Structure 1
C-alpha cells in the first residue's frame, strides 16, 4: 500500500514567489535565460546553474557545490524560508487549456523498491548518477516526480474542500499560467489523508523516472545514517484522469536510400495508405498515423490482420511505427541517439512537421496519436518499457516553488 509523508518545505516568501520560481533550465532559449539571470536576481535559475557562463570549464562536483552555496545564500537572505511544521501541499496549475490539481508529499523509496510505485520508462545510468550526485551535493530536491493514483472521490472531495480557503500562494507566470498552493499542516488531517493513500494499491510514475532512481541510489548510500529524509522522494500526486498526455511526432532526415515509390510500396505490406494531398491528416484513434512526404500528406492505417498483439508493448503505436517502419525500412535502430531522427511534442501544431520537411531539414514526418494512461499502467504492471519519446506529459512543475531538503 502507498505510504506518503509530510515534510518541512522550503518555499519562497509570498511576496517573492512569482520572481523566484522558474521553468526547467532546459526550456529557456539563450536570450530568455540571459535576461532572467541578468535582470532577475531572485530567480531560482541562479541556484540551478550558478556557473552557467563557464559550464564547460567547471567540474560537476564544483558546480554542484556552487548550487548548494547559492541555495544557502537565498536562505540567509530570507528569499527562501523553511516551514516550521511538517505539511503536505496542494498545488493547482491553471493553463490556457487545462487545470491540474495535485498533492505534494514525500513518497517512500521502499515502495519504489517493492514495486508499489510502478515504472514504465527505461533510464540512462550516467544520467541517474549525475542526478544522484547533484542531489547529494546540493542537499535539496525541487523537481517532484509526477505520479498518478486511481480516481478517488474521497480524495477529490477533500482537495475541493481544502482549496476553498485562501491559498498560501497565488501568482501568474509569463506563460500565462496561474499557480496556487495550499499548506495542510493539521496533524489529524494529515493522518487522515495518509490513511486514504494506505488503501491505494499502486502509484504510477508519469514523469521523473531518472529522479526516482537517483533518489533510490542516494537512499542506499544513506542506509547506515539516521537521516530518514533521504528515504523519501519528493512527489506530486495527481489523479490519473487529471494528467494530459501528448504524443511525440517523428521527423526523419532521409529514406535510407529508398525512392519515394519504393518506400510507399513497402508501406502497403502493413498499412492502408491513402494520399491526402494538401489536407493534413491528424490520427483520431490508435493504429492510425499521419505522414508528410514530398509536399503531400498521407494517412496510414494498420491493416486489421496486423492488429493482433501478445503484449501491451506490441500494441503501442510508438512500438508499431518502430517495428514496421523506422527499423526495417528506414534503418533507425537507436531511437534515443540516432542523429537521423528528431521529435516534436504534440503540443506544437502538426504543421510544424510540414514546415520542417518543406524546408529540407527532414525528408519525412510521422504524426502520432497520443498514448493514454491505461497503456502506461498496462506496461508498468507487466514490467515493460515504453520506447523513448512516447509521451509528453503535463503538468510540468516549476522549480523553486516547493523544496525538499535532503
Structure 2
C-alpha cells in the first residue's frame, strides 16, 4: 500500500506563477541557469540554483549558496509573491506538450514508503549530489522541487481527476518552450479521503525522475526524526511529489556522443563493431532515428550508419542487459571505444532526445567525434527493473515535459 497526504502548499500568487515557474535545477548548467533567470527576479532558479546570484563563479556547494537560497525563498515570501494555503489540499497539475497531455496529482508521499521499498528506484545516486540537495532542503526548510513519480493506471483515480479538472483552474499559463501548465486545487475532504484510500490499494510508486531529490528528502526526514524521538505525523516525514499514471508518460531517447575513436581508423572501427552489430551505411544524409528496439544510429565522419544488434549479444530474460543503452554500452562503447565507466568518463556525453538528432550532428561537428542515436527506454522496462530491485545504466531515460519547480512547495514545519 502507498500513503499520500494533503499539504498546505506554499505557492505563487496567480499573477506571478508564470515568472516563478522554472525547469528543475539539474537539467541545465550554471551558464544556462544564469541566462534563464536574467532579468527575472521571481525565477525560482534564484532558489534552486542560488549560485547564479553571485558576481563571481562560486563553488555551488559553498555554504553561502545554501544561505542565499534560503534568503531568496524568504524574500519571495516576505514580498507576498508566495502565499501559503491555510488548509491541507491535494492539487492537480497538467502539462500539454505538442498536443500530448499528462496529468498528475500533487501531494506528499511518505519517507517510510521509500525506506520500505514501496516507492521504487531504478537509478544509483551520487553522494555529492545527495549532499547538495540535503543541504538545500535543510537550509530552505522545504522540499522546493517535486519528485516525479508514476503508478500503474487506475480507472477510479482517473475518473476523479477527470471530474475535478472540469472546475476552474488555479493556474493556467504557457512557458517559453510552448508547454501549457494548468493546475487545480482539490479542497473537499471527501475527495481527498477517497484519493487517499485509492492509493492505499496501489502496491508501488516508481521514481521516474528525481532520485537525488527523493534520497535527500528521506535523509533529511531521518535526521529530523533523531532530533524528535517522539515523532508522529510531522511534515518532515513526507516529501513533495507529483504522481502520474504510467500510460500518460513518454520517455524520450537519451543519446550518446564520444570525443574520439579510441585511436581507431574508421575502417578498424567498423570492423570491430561488425562483430556484434549488422552495419548498413545510409546514403541519405537525414539523421537516423531508430524505430524499433535493438537498432541504433551512428554518425561518424559525415555519414550515418544503421546498426542492429546481432543475436547472442544480449538476453531478453535480463531486464537490464536487454536495454538498448546496455547493449550499446556492453558491445560497443566499452569494448570498442574504451568507455568503461560512462558515469565518470569525460570522453562521453549524453544528449536528451528533446534536442533532436540535429543536435548530435552539431556536437560531432564541434567538440565530439562520433554520435549514437537510440530507441527510447519504455515505462514498462523501467517498472520491471524497479520491481526486480535492479538499476539502469546512467542516463537511460529522458522525460518530457519536465515538472516545473516553484509552483508548489512543501515546507517542513
TM more than 0.5: yes
1:273 aligns to 2:279 (yes or no): yes
The answer to whether the 8 Å contact 1:107/1:234 transfers is yes
SS in 2 for 1:8: coil
Once the 2 structures are TM-superposed, how far is the Cα of residue 278 of structure 1 from its aligned partner? 3.2
SS in 1 for 2:355: coil
The answer to whether the 8 Å contact 2:169/2:184 transfers is yes
Q: Which residue of 2 aligns with 1:23?
A: 23
Question: What is the CA–CA distance in structure 2 between the aligned matches of 1:32 and 1:131, rounded to whole Å?
Answer: 17
SS in 1 for 2:322: coil
SS in 1 for 2:225: coil
Once the 2 structures are TM-superposed, how far is the Cα of residue 48 of structure 1 from its aligned partner? 3.3
Change over 3 Å in CA distance of 1:378–1:404 after alignment to 2: same
Q: Which residue of 1 aligns with 2:336?
A: 329
Q: Which residue of 1 aligns with 2:166?
A: 164
* 1:38-84 Cα shifts (integer Å, max 9, x gaps): x3333323333445223517863232122222222221221111000
Question: What is the CA–CA distance in structure 1 between the aligned matches of 2:61 and 2:391, rounded to whole Å?
Answer: 33
- The structure 1 segments of at least 4 consecutive aligned residues displaced by more than 6 Å after TM superposition are none
Change over 3 Å in CA distance of 1:336–1:79 after alignment to 2: same
Q: Which residue of 2 aligns with 1:397?
A: 403
* 1:245-293 Cα shifts (integer Å, max 9, x gaps): 0111111121111221112112221111111133432211111111112
SS in 2 for 1:71: helix
1:45 aligns to 2:45 (yes or no): yes
Question: Equivalences for 1:12-161 in 2 at 5 Å?
Answer: 12-25=12-25, 27=28, 30=31, 33-34=34-35, 36-37=37-38, 39-52=39-52, 53=54, 54-56=56-58, 60-161=62-163
Question: Equivalences for 1:226-237 in 2 at 5 Å?
Answer: 226=231, 228-237=234-243
The answer to whether the 8 Å contact 1:6/1:105 transfers is yes
Once the 2 structures are TM-superposed, how far is the Cα of residue 34 of structure 1 from its aligned partner? 4.7
1:340 aligns to 2:347 (yes or no): yes
Give the stretch that moved more between structures: 211-220 or 223-232: 223-232
Question: What is the CA–CA distance in structure 2 between the aligned matches of 1:119 and 1:130, rounded to whole Å?
Answer: 19
Q: Which residue of 1 aligns with 2:367?
A: 361
Q: Give the RMSD, CA atoms, in angstroms.
A: 1.9
Once the 2 structures are TM-superposed, how far is the Cα of residue 305 of structure 1 from its aligned partner? 3.5
The answer to whether the 8 Å contact 2:313/2:331 transfers is no
Question: What is the CA–CA distance in structure 2 between the aligned matches of 1:130 and 1:50, rounded to whole Å?
Answer: 12
Q: Which residue of 2 aligns with 1:251?
A: 257
TM-score computed with the length of structure 2 as normaliser: 0.93
Q: Which residue of 2 aligns with 1:184?
A: 186
Once the 2 structures are TM-superposed, how far is the Cα of residue 216 of structure 1 from its aligned partner? 1.4
The answer to whether the 8 Å contact 2:251/2:376 transfers is yes
The answer to whether the 8 Å contact 1:243/1:395 transfers is no
SS in 1 for 2:158: helix
Change over 3 Å in CA distance of 1:99–1:29 after alignment to 2: farther
Change over 3 Å in CA distance of 1:24–1:201 after alignment to 2: closer
Give the stretch that moved more between structures: 101-110 or 66-75: 66-75
Q: Which residue of 1 aligns with 2:305?
A: 298
Once the 2 structures are TM-superposed, how far is the Cα of residue 31 of structure 1 from its aligned partner? 7.5
The answer to whether the 8 Å contact 2:33/2:49 transfers is no
Change over 3 Å in CA distance of 1:254–1:35 after alignment to 2: closer
Q: Which residue of 1 aligns with 2:327?
A: 320
Change over 3 Å in CA distance of 1:268–1:118 after alignment to 2: same
Question: What is the CA–CA distance in structure 1 between the aligned matches of 2:176 and 2:153, rounded to whole Å?
Answer: 31
Q: Which residue of 2 aligns with 1:218?
A: 220
Question: What is the CA–CA distance in structure 2 between the aligned matches of 1:228 and 1:166, rounded to whole Å?
Answer: 32
Change over 3 Å in CA distance of 1:51–1:303 after alignment to 2: closer
SS in 1 for 2:327: helix
Change over 3 Å in CA distance of 1:316–1:32 after alignment to 2: closer
Unpaired runs of 5+ in structure 2?
A: none
TM-score computed with the length of structure 1 as normaliser: 0.94
Change over 3 Å in CA distance of 1:32–1:218 after alignment to 2: closer
Once the 2 structures are TM-superposed, how far is the Cα of residue 170 of structure 1 from its aligned partner? 1.2
Once the 2 structures are TM-superposed, how far is the Cα of residue 91 of structure 1 from its aligned partner? 0.5
Question: What is the CA–CA distance in structure 1 between the aligned matches of 2:21 and 2:309, rounded to whole Å?
Answer: 45
Unpaired runs of 5+ in structure 1?
A: none
Once the 2 structures are TM-superposed, how far is the Cα of residue 30 of structure 1 from its aligned partner? 3.9
